[in-house]
């Protein structure tokens, strides 16, 4: 099945998209969601979408900024921009971006199906003319010392909100799938887990210093405070504010 990602800061809009479309009839599935461009960049390597519906108006990283980053790293990703009528002309001006379609919100179900039928035809044709082949292994096997260098690179650059598996793989000259596999083999953690661990350990120190959550989230490379808050609670077991309170009781 083709994998779809929904990127919109309105949870109600994402739920409506999930529920109102018979994805299975299109040989598609909603494989993941994100509430901001920042969150999408962090999780896109895990979701591996073929198609992304992207809201143009999101805080911290809007849909155009996300599209610029995502299409450079994932050139085969099909982007569908969702925009309100007052932003439509702005969206259409970004013609240099490889966007498959611009759709007005609120979207009409029939128009969504029509667009997705066109997307499916393109993906089906792509499969017929270019059967996916396994990425070749590098001529030189990755050494443990290289993984150590990559870990140090992450530890030095986790404050960059745009860093992810694909960008690091490109920096070191490996495919993202190969780096993902070798990183897990060598460290016992996947790339996102290690990156999040670096960020959350730094966030704990900032919390101990009584830094405001909004500032701390920026400091550790997650400028979306809502996403930061979810990451922190999952990692630490309590909210950022509760952790601050526990350290300054």
Q: Is 94 helix (H, G, I), strand (E, B) or coil?
A: coil
Q: What pLDDT does residue 10 have?
A: 93
Q: How many CB atoms are closer than 10 A to CB 24?
A: 9
Tell me what pLDDT residue 133 has.
56
Please state at what angle helix 191-208 crosses helix 176-187, rounded to 10 degrees: 60
Report the 10 Å Cβ neighbour count for 41: 23
The pLDDT, as a whole number, for residue 161 is 94
- How far apart are the C-alpha atoms of 133 and 136, rounded to whole Å? 9
> Quick one: pLDDT at residue 157?
97
How confident is the model at residue 166, as a pLDDT?
94
Q: 192 with 163: CB under 8 angstroms? A: no
Q: Is the previous residue joined to 106 through a cis bond, with omega within 30 degrees of 0?
A: yes
- 243: CB partners within 8 A, 6+ apart: 204, 207, 232, 236
Report the C-alpha gap between 226 and 99 in whole angstroms. Answer: 27
Cross-strand bridge partners of residue 101: 80
Q: Which residues pair with 96 in a beta bridge?
A: none
All domains in the chain, ordered by first residue = 2-129 (3.40.50.2300), 144-247 (1.10.10.60)
Question: Can you read off the two tokens belonging to residue 74?
Answer: 């994932």
User: What's the CA gap between 48 and 165, in Å, rounded?
Assistant: 12
- Strand 78-83 versus strand 51-55 pairing type: parallel
What pLDDT does 131 receive?
Answer: 59
Blockwise average pLDDT, block size 10, the chain, 249 residues: 96 94 97 95 93 92 90 94 77 74 90 97 91 62 89 97 94 92 94 96 97 96 95 96 91
């Amino acid at each position: 099945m083709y994998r779809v990602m929904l990127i919109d800061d309105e949870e109600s809009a994402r739920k409506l998209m999930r529920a109102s479309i018979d994805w299975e009839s299109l040989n598609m599935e909603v494989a993941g969601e994100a509430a901001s461009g920042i969150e999408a960049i962090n999780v896109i390597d895990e979701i591996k979408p073929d198609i992304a519906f992207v809201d143009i108006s999101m805080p911290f990283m809007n849909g155009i900024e996300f599209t610029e980053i995502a299409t450079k790293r994932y050139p085969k990703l099909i982007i569908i921009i969702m925009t309100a009528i007052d932003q439509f002309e702005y969206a259409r001006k970004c013609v240099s971006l490889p966007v498959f379609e611009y759709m007005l919100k609120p979207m009409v179900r029939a128009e969504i199906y029509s667009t997705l039928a066109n997307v499916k035809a393109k993906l089906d044709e792509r499969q017929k003319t270019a059967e996916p082949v396994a990425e070749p292994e590098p001529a030189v096997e990755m050494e443990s010392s290289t993984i150590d260098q990559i870990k140090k690179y992450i530890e030095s650059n986790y404050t960059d909100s745009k860093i992810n598996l694909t960008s690091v793989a490109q920096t070191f000259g490996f495919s993202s799938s190969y780096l993902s596999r070798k990183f897990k083999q060598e460290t016992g953690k996947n790339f996102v887990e290690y990156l999040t661990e670096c960020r959350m350990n730094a966030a704990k120190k900032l919390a101990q210093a009584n830094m405001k959550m909004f500032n701390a989230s920026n400091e550790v490379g997650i400028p979306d405070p809502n996403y930061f808050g979810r990451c922190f609670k999952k990692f630490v077991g309590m909210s950022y504010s509760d952790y601050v309170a526990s350290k300054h009781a």
